[in-house]
Amino acid sequence: MPRTVSSPGPKSHGFWGRRGFQEAQAIGSVGGAVEALVRAIAPEIAPKRINVVSPGTIDTPMVAAQGDERSSFYSKATAANIIPRAGTADEVAHGIIFMIQNDFVTGTTIDVDGGWLLS
């Protein structure tokens, strides 16, 4: 359900902008800019609302690996998470739905990342 900035609502940028990574400065800068933009324009577009959902490692068909290779990839990618597993698209969708349904949330980021940001 991606939307453009001209259409207020939840945005999704992923975890790259939440914590710095060597060799990922460009994508991290974009993610950080999305968050800054949302915080900056939220007061300007009120009473309309705008928020960001930042998913962590999510098990989706974007990873082509299958079987043991897939399990190994996600186990390694999430081993340090507080919740050491990949999330699901449904779990990210629940974060988006929360932001849509809660009229008291604006200009903020919800991390759906299994505690990755804190690990």
Instruction: Calculate mean pLDDT across residues 47-74.
Output: 94
Cα 68 from chain centroid? 26
Kind of pairing between the strands at 109-112 and 10-12: unpaired
pLDDT over 70 for what percent of the chain? 82
pLDDT at 52 over 90: yes
Q: What is the pTM of this model?
A: 0.79
Residue of higher predicted confidence among 97 and 8: 97
Q: What's the pLDDT score for residue 30?
A: 83
Provide the pLDDT for residue 9: 54
Q: What is the mean pLDDT of residues 62-80?
A: 94
CATH 3.40.50.720 fits 10-118, yes or no: yes
Q: Where are the domains of the chain?
A: 10-118
12 strand-pairing partners: 53
Burial 51-70 (b: 16+ CB within 10 A, else e): bbbbbbbbbeeeeeeeeeee
Q: Which helix (H) or strand (E) holds 89?
A: helix 89-101
